[in-house]
Amino acid sequence: VRLQRKIAVVGTGYVGLTTGACLAALGHHVVCADIDANKVDRLGRGHVDILEPGLDELVNRGLTAGNLEFVVGATNAVSPETEVLFLCVPTPMGADGSADLRAVESVLAEVGDMLPSGCAVATKSTVPVGTADRLRHMVNVPIVANPEFLREGSAVDDFLHPDRIVVGSADREAAQRVGDLYAALQAPTLVLDAASAEMVKYAANCFLAVKLSYVNAIAQLCDRVGADVREVTEGMGLDPRIGRSFLKPGPGWGGSCLPKDTNALLHVAEQAGLDFALLRSAIEQNVRQQEDVIDRIRQACDGTVRGARIGLLGLAFKAGTNDLRDSPAIGIANALVAEGAEITAHDPAITGELPGMRLVDDPYEAVKGAIAVVVLTEWPEFRTLDWTKVAELMDGFTVVDTRDLLDGDDLARAGLRWKAIGRRC
Ligand code: UDX
């Protein structure tokens, strides 16, 4: 396996930038392209705007070593030496739930004729099953599906310590070539056909979504029957077939992947004539979970949130990121605003302005005068707030803790009422 390969990466979002910087860290020569000239300029000077631990350092290391470059436009990333071109552009959800492939197609239309023979195109963007085969006519080099399994907030670590590498193509030799780029990581590598490789990603992400919807429903049931979901999930998680991870109830799952991928797979199933009722119901459960949280907030405000001051702690879809895409917190905040609540929110990673609410830099400012306080993101710093001070600042006394993050005893000592989903409290 030759170590240094010439790679082009198109798209410098969290997937593309992580892929580019990590492949450079493995010794490859990487040129990253984006259409946003301002972003390219900043990246070229070592400024990383995405909050992703270790990414800034890797980008700067690559720039200094000279094996990581940033250019404007896909065509400038391709040279006669390019061996693999990674597509890391967005595939947002279209109106009908299907993935919108226009960005992928437009990059291929641009660079299709420039790719040297012996080069392979690798799709990192989550694309519907069948895409690699569908795109084949657009280029005269093989297309390899190479899904990523990166979690936001630990993308660099996930990239460098993968559970598995999945590559798939009608041209197995090309798939193997892409798989070889990761040889230094010594992860199990599956060389599959394109559709199976694409399916792995959806099947895995949708499984996680179903698991979470299940556990969220169990949490609600625990409330109704007087069981404690923390104890229940501990008991479940000790079964190695279930596992301990992804068993934490919350305000609903969100982020840039799970909502998009569940809808896309549902769409794929519909197109294929399969009624994937289980998946549909997991998506519906996720909507109900948010509604349940809103209902708990109404109860904390004596039945209606109209005119009520509510303090939100956390807006990002999970801790460790500043990503608001499909964040349940935003859905909940908007619903409260629509019902006439006055929202003040604080998230340690988010500054600036958001429509309909007041965003503040200080958590104590967010709880001031609030009838109810709601924890929506599991930022560890919320645990150690001075709850006596919070109690003094609030007008009411209920804290709805949708992440089961806080210590109920701390809150009780401060005279506050702690409400967590599925917990005996
Ligand atoms: C996910 C997948 O984990 C990753 O493999 C894939 O490539 C992209 O999608 P990510 O979206 O970054 O990664 O977030 P993840 O940490 O998986 O969390 C997804 C959602 O589930 C978040 O809203 C999170 O708060 C929620 N969650 C997760 C829970 O509510 N409880 C849990 O126990 C775990």
- How confident is the prediction along the chain (425 residues), in pLDDT tens digits per residue? 556 899 999 999 999 999 999 999 999 999 999 999 999 999 999 999 988 999 999 999 999 999 999 999 999 999 999 999 999 999 887 888 788 899 999 999 999 999 999 999 999 988 888 888 889 889 999 999 999 999 988 999 999 999 999 999 999 999 999 999 999 999 999 999 999 999 999 999 999 999 999 999 999 999 999 999 999 999 999 999 999 999 999 999 999 899 999 999 999 999 999 999 999 999 999 999 999 999 999 999 999 999 999 999 999 999 988 899 999 999 999 999 999 999 999 999 999 999 999 999 999 999 999 999 999 999 999 999 999 999 999 999 999 999 999 999 999 999 999 999 999 87
- CB of 52 within 6 A of ligand 1: the answer is no
Fill in the DSSP letter of residue 150: P
Is there a binding annotation on residue 134? no
- Residues whose CB is less than 8 angstroms from the CB of residue 128 and which lie 6 or more positions away in sequence, other chains included: 98, 99, 101, 198, 264, 267, 268
Do 36 and 138 share a structural domain?
yes
Tell me which of 166, 192, 218 is where a domain ends: 192
Do 224 and 144 share a structural domain?
no
Q: How far apart are CA 210 and CA 333, in angstroms?
A: 24
- CB of 211 within 6 A of ligand 1: the answer is no
Sort residue 69 into left (φ over 0), alpha (ψ -120 to 50) or beta.
beta
- Strand, coil or helix: what is 242? coil
Tell me which of 192, 207, 227 is where a domain ends: 192
In Å, how far are 193, 229, 417 from 400, measured between CA atoms? 47, 16, 8
Residue 50, in any domain of the structure = yes
Do 183 and 233 share a structural domain?
no
Do 217 and 179 share a structural domain?
no
- CB of 128 within 6 A of ligand 1: the answer is no
pTM of the complete model: 0.92
Q: Give pLDDT, residue 345.
A: 98
Residue 157, in any domain of the structure = yes
Structural domain count, the chain = 2
Q: Long-range contacts for 91-94 (Cβ within 8 Å, ≥24 apart)?
A: 91/125, 91/126, 91/127, 91/260, 92/260, 93/259, 93/260, 93/263, 93/264
Residue 201, in any domain of the structure = yes
Question: Of the residues 22, 88, 119, 257, which is catalytic?
Answer: 257
Do 260 and 156 share a structural domain?
no
Reported as type and span, the H/E element at residue 41 is helix 37-44
Do 360 and 214 share a structural domain?
yes
Q: Domain residues for 188?
A: 6-192
Residue 1, in any domain of the structure = no
State the distance from the centre of ligand 1 to the C-alpha of 172, rounded, in angstroms.
Answer: 31
Do 256 and 146 share a structural domain?
no
Do 130 and 143 share a structural domain?
yes
Measured from the Cα of 250, ligand 1's closest atom is: 30
Do 391 and 242 share a structural domain?
yes
Tell me which of 192, 217, 246 is where a domain ends: 192
State the distance from the centre of ligand 1 to the C-alpha of 411, rounded, in angstroms.
Answer: 28
Sort residue 130 into left (φ over 0), alpha (ψ -120 to 50) or beta.
left
Do 350 and 223 share a structural domain?
yes
Q: Give pLDDT, residue 81.
A: 95
Q: Is 425 a catalytic residue?
A: no
Is there a binding annotation on residue 150? yes
Fill in the DSSP letter of residue 378: -
Q: How far apart are CA 233 and CA 202, in angstroms?
A: 25
Q: Give pLDDT, residue 2.
A: 54
CATH number at residue 341: 3.40.50.720
Q: Give pLDDT, residue 125.
A: 81
Q: Give pLDDT, residue 3.
A: 67
Neighbouring-strand partners of residue 72: 34
Short-list 15, 13, 29, 37, CA closest to 68: 29
- CB of 331 within 6 A of ligand 1: the answer is no
Shortest-distance Cα residue to atom 31 of ligand 1:
248
Q: Give pLDDT, residue 290.
A: 98
Do 229 and 146 share a structural domain?
no
The one-letter amino acid at 39: K
State the distance from the centre of ligand 1 to the C-alpha of 253, rounded, in angstroms.
Answer: 7
Do 117 and 224 share a structural domain?
no
In Å, how far are 49, 251, 311, 424 from 410, measured between CA atoms? 36, 22, 19, 15
Interface confidence, given as ipTM, is 0.92
Q: Give pLDDT, residue 79.
A: 96
Q: Give pLDDT, residue 31.
A: 98
- CB of 124 within 6 A of ligand 1: the answer is no
